[in-house]
Amino acid sequence: MAKKRIPIPNELAAKVMFESDRTCCICRDPTRKTEIHHIDGDPTNNDFSNLAVVCKDCQSDAHTEHAFARNLTPELVRKYNESWRATVSARLKPGGDKGQFIEYQQQVLLEIGLVPHIWKNHYMALYPGQFRDTGYNSGESGGDVWDMLTEVAIHGYSAEEWKKYLPLFSTTTSKVITQLDRLLSAHGSAIPVSVKLAVLRANSQLEVQQ
C-alpha cells in the first residue's frame, strides 16, 4: 500500500531549493524546471537529507523500474545531492579562487565516487531480475547497494556462469582501474591525501583480485 504524501513545509522547501540554487543536482542544467524529489521514495520522509532538487527527466529516471535506467538508485542520487549542495555552498562563499577551487574539488571527488558504480552497474545488468523487489531499489532496506550485492546475489559455479561474468573482471575491472588512475593523474592537486591513499589501495586490490 502506497504511503500518503506529507506536504513539505514551505520553509523547508525553500531551504532545499536555495541550497541547490534551484538547479537539478544530477544534470546541473540551470535552464531546466525542477521539483523536490524524495530520495528514498518515501513521500512521508521530509528529512532535509532525503530531499533533492531534480529536473523532470532525472526525476523520471530515478523512479523507473526498468533495469535501473541511467542507474539512478537512491544511493547515487544521494551522492549527487551531497556533492551539488557542497558546490553551491562554495559558490556562495566570498573568496574568488578559493571558492572555485572548492567547487572544482567537489566535482573531482564526485567523479571518483562514481567510478566504482561502473562495475556495479555492469554487474546489475548481467544479474537476472535486476534486483527488483529486494528493498534496495527503493532504499527501503536501509543498507547500501554494496551490502545488497553480497546479501541478495546467489551464484553457482559452472563454465556457463564463469563465461557470463568474466567480462566484469577482464574488461570492467580494468576500466575502473584506468579511470581512477586517470583522475589521480589529472586532478591530483585537488584530491586530499587520504582519498589518494584509498584510491591507490583500491587499485592495488583490484589488480590482485583481477
Q: What is the pLDDT of residues 157-175, one digit of tens each?
A: 899 989 999 999 989 999 9
* Rounded CA separation 164/161 (Å): 5
Domain span at 70: 10-209
DSSP H stretches of helix in 45-134: 56-63, 74-92, 97-114, 116-126
In a domain, 5, yes or no: no
Q: Cell triple for residue 198?
A: 584509498
In a domain, 3, yes or no: no
Q: How many domains does the chain have?
A: 1
143 falls in which pLDDT band (50, 70, 90)? low
pTM of the model: 0.69
Whether the predicted pLDDT of 46 surpasses 60:
yes
Closest CA to 52 of 89, 91, 88, 26: 26
Residue pair 32/24 in contact by the 8 Å Cβ criterion: yes
Catalogue the long-range contacts made by 200-204 (C-beta closer than 8 Å, 24 or more residues apart).
203/177
71 falls in which pLDDT band (50, 70, 90)? low
Whether the predicted pLDDT of 72 surpasses 80:
no
In a domain, 80, yes or no: yes
In a domain, 1, yes or no: no
Whether the predicted pLDDT of 2 surpasses 70:
no
The total number of residues shown for the chain amounts to 210
In a domain, 120, yes or no: yes
138 falls in which pLDDT band (50, 70, 90)? very low
In a domain, 98, yes or no: yes
Residue pair 84/44 in contact by the 8 Å Cβ criterion: no
Q: Cell triple for residue 16?
A: 532545499
In a domain, 16, yes or no: yes
Angle at 70 between CA 65 and CA 71, to 5 degrees: 65
